[in-house]
Amino acid sequence: MPKRVRVKKTTQPVRPTLGANVEIASAGQVIDSPITETLRVNYMPYAMSVIVSRALPEIDGFKPAHRKLLYTMYGMGLLKGARTKSANIVGSTMHLNPHGDAAIYETMVRMGRSNESLLVPFVDSKGNFGKAYSRDMAYAAARYTEAKLEPVCEELFRDIDKDTVDFVPNYDGTTTEPTLLPVTFPTILANNTLGIAVGMASNICSFNLRELCAATVALMKDENADLKEILPAPDFVGGGSILYDAAEMESVLETGRGSVRVRAKWSYDKANNCIDIREIPPTTTVEAIMDKITELAKAGKAREINDMRDETDLNGLKLTIDLKRGQDPDRLMARLFRTTPLEDSFACNFNLLIGGQPQVLGVRQILTEWTAFRVECVRRRVYFDLQGKEKRLHLLEGLEAILLDIDKAIAIVRETEEEAEVVPNLMIGFGIDEAQAEYVAEIRLRHLNREYILKRTAEIEELKKDIEDLRDTLDRPARVRRIIMAELEAVAQKYGKPRKSEILYDAAVADDEEESAAPAPDYAVTLFFTRDGYFKKITPQSLRMSGEQKLKDGDELIFTAEATNNTELLFFTNHCQVYKARVADFADGKASVLGDYVASTLGMEEGETPVAMVPTADYKGHVLFFFQNGKCAKVPLASYQTKQNRRKLLKAYSDKAELAALLAMTEEQELAIFTRASAGDRLLLAGSALIPAKTTRDTAGVNVITLKRGARIARVVPAAGLELSDEHRYRVRKLPAMGALLKAEDTAEQMTL
């Protein structure tokens, strides 16, 4: 049964006139309503509006806001005319898009050439339009900047006045607007598009225009064409180097999902001993890169850097890193690629609207859908031309009929007493219809010469040939497809440009070899981790020579284990994040020192502290997160393994409830779950195998213990170390369970532990 909600009507009295006090019927009553009905009536219309009419692009490559803006600029004559103030454009666009001038102007800014957001910009901008690669370089107000349409926009509106697309009334019915634009090339893949709807999102990367047109032509010729040979990788407006991954690229082309790794392009200035970065990934900004490098420098992980500054000017982006004398720039950049956004991934999610329905399609399917859309546009254009020529032919055939006896036509007109009878009399006199007679009657007196009539009637044969050709085009789909292919080739030749992003086919392999070429020395160590977040690694020799462990006042050891220097460490924090490190990243310590403060060493956020440490060499086993609300999340340790050696993972565990205990285990074992409540403490013994594993790291978990009001999980420990008077009293074989009240003798055991 669906959950029901109680809705109380609290409508205030309505006062339609002075002195009147009219109460609404049934006001103040409480009614039961299914929550599903509330969602359907109140939430679904909003969700569908965002999905269908705002956030997701359609097959022509535009969201409604972009389409309305471009069509307004087209109607203002900004395709051929001079630039006008952006404020004028924004004001005119509000006839179609009444969502506020700020939102409209932001849309136009992103499409501007000088903003450098789009690989194929549509707005020829003048003035400060900001930069997509900088979060601090804001654009100027609309009253200061100017804009017009780029020449490529001619391909967006070609033949739009020939009924190639449908038009619908605008929001107030005062004018009409196109539902789609009859684009002559696949704009949906020519520019990157990001859209966040309700329950779904879209993130489309851009491809080189020449390669895209060539791929579309190849698919029209052979639907099984190998796209990887024609469309090897995306192309981003900011350039950069794409680290080619055949499997990921295959996934993007065929399914529309996958990721593309992009690396910044840099050069070393030997004379000034500095590194110049001029191209960065499209997913980051200059400020984000500088913030991360600054963070590494403060943590002592970028000691080679002497200074860093942003030298971006009219020539474009430039980030300069000054090096200390004698440093290796290649080694530094390899580390920065691993630890900063100088190398980042573009997550592809090709979600777009096809016939009003959101679909995730691969590049092959998108180009196929676009071809079908373009075929319909061309057929409608041909049919429009056919109708125009047929109408013209019909009129000229009526003119030809009077050619035999012009004097008769003149006599009919002269002898007709009333003007309204001229057309009917011509129809009777020459056997023509009303439209032909109307055309003949409108001929000027100066055109009643033989030369004019012969010239007009000479068009008849040419019109018949054109009509026959147009009908043949409509009857033969192959001819329509050849028209589209010719248009694509013309677009590629006229507007195509060389790739901006280079493709590196062996960069990933080289990085792996560099990592494995010089591994850290491996030797046995003992690991110590304290409640306040201090970490020590001590060699067996030093451990035998040292005495008692030195700890901060009030601190205590919560984890001790034997490991090796190449073991990986996972530090789970109170912000539900996990930081990854290797034992080799920490210096060998002694029992007489406090050790490394992990929060500072790993650069954790303000107020963030580690709550548990999990060492692993092979990422086998599970991590169990017990929450105070009685739930437990069992997550495979492999869920925290990453190929890119990421140092920080978000959403390491659920934040829905307070964490009570964290246990890592390589094999199943029996656990002792202690609960605390005012009515008495309880204990539950259960095998970890009874808890199902979840692949999602931040899962809320499953109920393992039934808690009474005010009760909570106090702690969880392996049951093997307990000495209980009657362990069968606490053991269960099915979860969730309540457990049993602790006996007095077992309570003492708990306090000892």
pLDDT single digits (tens) 187-204:
999 999 999 988 899 999
pLDDT for the residue numbered 60: 94
Residues forming a β-bridge with 580: 570
pLDDT for the residue numbered 244: 92
Label residue 36 by pLDDT band (50, 70, 90).
confident
Residue 564 tokens, joined: 């090796």
pLDDT for the residue numbered 15: 47
Q: Is the pLDDT of residue 645 over 80?
A: no
Residue 179 tokens, joined: 């539902």
Question: pLDDT averaged over the chain?
Answer: 88
144 is catalytic: yes
Mean pLDDT of 241-254: 93
Which residue's entry shows tokens 């999340």?
633
pLDDT (tens digit per residue) in 425-444: 888 888 888 888 888 888 77
Q: Does domain 618-641+650-753 have CATH number 3.40.50.300?
A: no
Label residue 685 by pLDDT band (50, 70, 90).
very high
pLDDT for the residue numbered 26: 61
Q: Is the pLDDT of residue 1 over 70?
A: no
pLDDT for the residue numbered 142: 95
Pairing of strands 502-504, 241-243: parallel
CATH class of segment(s) 375-495: mainly alpha
Could you give the count of Cα atoms lying within 13 Å of 431 in the half-sphere of its Cβ? 4
Residues forming a β-bridge with 740: 683
Higher pLDDT, 106 or 587: 106
pLDDT for the residue numbered 517: 37
Higher pLDDT, 467 or 19: 467
Least confident of 209-223, 400-414, 565-579: 400-414
pLDDT for the residue numbered 591: 87
Residue 614 and residue 559: Cα distance in Å, rounded? 9
Amino acid at 582: R
pLDDT for the residue numbered 443: 79
- Assess contact for 283 and 240: CB atoms under 8 A: no
Q: Is the pLDDT of residue 7 over 70?
A: no
Higher pLDDT, 321 or 52: 321
Q: Is the pLDDT of residue 119 over 60?
A: yes
In which region does residue 445 sit, left (phi positive, over 0), alpha (psi from -120 to 50) or beta (all else)? alpha
Q: Is the pLDDT of residue 456 over 80?
A: no
Q: Which overall architecture, per CATH, does domain 56-183 show?
A: Alpha-Beta Complex (3.90)
- Assess contact for 206 and 370: CB atoms under 8 A: no
The torsion angles phi and psi of 201, rounded to 5 degrees, stand at -145, 170
Residue 542 and residue 570: Cα distance in Å, rounded? 25
Gap between the terminal Cα atoms of the chain: 47
Percent with pLDDT over 70 in the chain:
93
pLDDT for the residue numbered 408: 86
Mean pLDDT of 222-244: 93
Mean pLDDT of 159-169: 94
Q: Tell me which of 2.30.38.10, 1.25.40.10, 3.30.1360.40, 3.40.800.20 is the CATH number of domain 265-341.
A: 3.30.1360.40
pLDDT (tens digit per residue) in 736-748: 998 888 888 777 4
pLDDT (tens digit per residue) in 75-88: 999 999 899 999 99
The count of other CB atoms within 10 Å of the CB of residue 465 is 11
CA nearest to 275, candidates 346, 337, 359, 194: 337
pLDDT for the residue numbered 518: 43
pLDDT for the residue numbered 507: 67
Least confident of 341-345, 465-469, 637-641, 718-722: 718-722
Which of 43, 144, 171, 523 is catalytic? The answer is: 144
Label residue 255 by pLDDT band (50, 70, 90).
very high
Residue 381 tokens, joined: 């254009």
The count of other CB atoms within 10 Å of the CB of residue 227 is 21
Q: Is the pLDDT of residue 510 over 50?
A: no
pLDDT for the residue numbered 31: 73
Rg over CA atoms, the chain: 37
pLDDT for the residue numbered 498: 94
pLDDT for the residue numbered 660: 92
Label residue 18 by pLDDT band (50, 70, 90).
very low
pLDDT for the residue numbered 420: 86
Label residue 45 by pLDDT band (50, 70, 90).
confident
pLDDT (tens digit per residue) in 274-322: 999 999 999 999 999 999 999 988 887 888 899 999 999 888 899 999 9
Which residue's entry shows tokens 């362990």?
727
Mean pLDDT of 496-517: 68
pLDDT for the residue numbered 588: 85
Extents of the domains making up the chain = 4-50, 56-183, 265-341, 375-495, 519-616, 618-641+650-753
- Assess contact for 615 and 567: CB atoms under 8 A: yes
CA nearest to 460, candidates 430, 436, 434, 433: 436
CA nearest to 673, candidates 613, 708, 631: 631
Pairing of strands 30-34, 4-8: antiparallel
Mean pLDDT of 168-172: 93
Which residue's entry shows tokens 């009859």?
182
Label residue 17 by pLDDT band (50, 70, 90).
very low
pLDDT for the residue numbered 545: 80
- For residue 424, say if its preceding peptide bond is cis, omega within 30 degrees of 0: no
Least confident of 252-266, 289-303, 561-575: 289-303
Residue 217 tokens, joined: 């032509």
